[in-house]
Amino acid sequence: MVESSIFFLSDIRLLSFSFLGFLLILCSYSSVLFFTIQQPASCKSARAINRAAASRHM
């Protein structure tokens, strides 16, 4: 009984760690994707993208 509960707790910890790692990878990938999209664009289009993002947040 005690062993199974300890295994369950370690399993939860492993799941949370893998979920955090997945979130971290997703965030870094999306930021890299955003920067690679924004880089070749001119300053004007980048400013327009920022304005659209700001208006979307409002």
Structural domain that includes position 6: 2-57
pLDDT number for residue 22 = 93
Q: 26, 50, 18: which is closest to 37 by C-alpha?
A: 50
Domain count, the chain: 1
Q: What is the pLDDT of residues 1-57, one digit of tens each?
A: 566 776 677 788 888 888 999 999 998 888 888 877 766 655 566 677 778 777 876
Predicted confidence at residue 25, as pLDDT, reads 92
